Amino acid sequence: MADLIPLEASQRMPRCLTSLCTRLLRAFRRGNETSVKPPITQVEDFPSGYPRFAALISSHPYFQICRRFSALRARMLLHKQDKLSQLEEQLEQIDREEPKVLFLGSYRRDSNPARKQVLENIDAALADYDELIHRNERVLGLERPNRRDIANLENWIDSTGCLARQETAYLGKGEDLATLASPADRALNAFEGPIEGFLIWIATKFNKVWLPLESENASPRLQVSRDPNVHIFSSALVARLGRFLVASLLVLLLLIPVIIVNAIDSVALRLLVIAISSTIFIIVLSMLTKARTGEIFVAGATFTTVLVVFVAGTGSNN
């Protein structure tokens, strides 16, 4: 992500630490490297203004932020809905005033031109109305962008000053913004911000180690911009670190209750630990995943059952 944080001078680090970091980062990025690397086109290589801003947005999927225009969509939906209501009233009036009742019982024999014209208008209006509904459903179903991503774009715009303020004011419409890059894994997305913040902290705190890594193309920061304040990291590296943290969290959630229950002799305290652990497990599961209510219920029941069986087994052994 792009964060405007000035680089600071730090203490000189041993060369062995630089070599170790180089090997570790190359291992994380293995599979993404090619034998011959094409020249990198950076953001500053584009003309100032919208060309440069578009290059920055295209450098990271989470920068693809746009407005939904929810109010305008609602206005158009109401307009088309009312248009259909008027056509419906016209059709009902024509049916009521029809002098030849036989026409109402047969489309083939119906020779009323006004009714045929209204039906054609209704068909066209319904097609237009349905298309708008499907468009609105897709757009309104997009997720809201992370506040961090919005702030990153605002920081870049404020620091460069290459765009008109009125044309970038859309970033301030927080409730109306949508991201085109919805995270595939909500749990990993929750850890991306802290991970990138940690990598930025390393870049600013230990720049004596960081700069040699960048010179050897082993840095986790993508060479998207020559601006030292712009930090856009490899998505693969951030995803691997995120999976490591998620796996560590799951191990702690599963093993800590077992260890505590095994160390307690009182049945009442064991049951209390089970209740607290199950509550924490369900809360974490509902916050970090998009699981449905039924799936969360099954996962919580399974987790609680395992702990209860463990308590029953240890109790019978004692």
Instruction: List, as one string, the DSSP characters of 115-164.
Output: HHHHHHHHHHHHHHHHHHHHHHHHHHTSPPPPHHHHHHHHHHHHHH--S-
- So what's the pLDDT on residue 11? 42
- So what's the pLDDT on residue 13? 46
Q: Tell me: the pLDDT tens digits for 259-289?
A: 888 888 887 888 888 888 889 888 888 887 7
Q: Judging by DSSP bridges, how do beta strands 65-67 and 177-179 pair with one another?
A: antiparallel
Same domain, 50 and 95: no
Q: Give the confidence band of 108 by pLDDT, cuts at 50, 70, 90.
A: low
Same domain, 134 and 255: no
How far apart (Å, rounded) are the C-alpha atoms in residues 71 and 176? 9
How far apart (Å, rounded) are the C-alpha atoms in residues 121 and 83? 10
More reliable by pLDDT, 173 or 290 = 173
Which residues form the domain of 102? 70-140
Per the structure, the count of domains in the chain is: 3
Q: What is the dihedral of CA 220, 45, 164, 222, to 10 degrees?
A: -10
Q: Indicate whether 179 belongs to any domain.
A: yes
Same domain, 177 and 207: yes
Most confident region among 12-26, 29-43, 66-80 by mean pLDDT: 66-80
Per DSSP, 270 falls in state: H
How far apart (Å, rounded) are the C-alpha atoms in residues 193 and 195? 5
Q: Looking at 125, 140, 155, which one is the last position of a domain?
A: 140
Reference 149, options 3, 11, 277; nearest CA is: 3
Q: Looking at 232, 260, 282, which one is the last position of a domain?
A: 232
Check whether 119 has a pLDDT greater than 70: yes
The share of the chain scoring above pLDDT 90, in percent, equals 21
Burial of 31 (0-12, 13-18, 19+ CB in 10 A): exposed
- So what's the pLDDT on residue 260? 86
How far apart (Å, rounded) are the C-alpha atoms in residues 189 and 118? 52
Same domain, 284 and 301: yes
Same domain, 176 and 205: yes
Q: Indicate whether 258 belongs to any domain.
A: yes
Q: What is the residue-averaged pLDDT of the chain? A: 78
Q: Indicate whether 8 belongs to any domain.
A: no
Same domain, 212 and 97: no
Q: Give the confidence band of 72 by pLDDT, cuts at 50, 70, 90.
A: very high
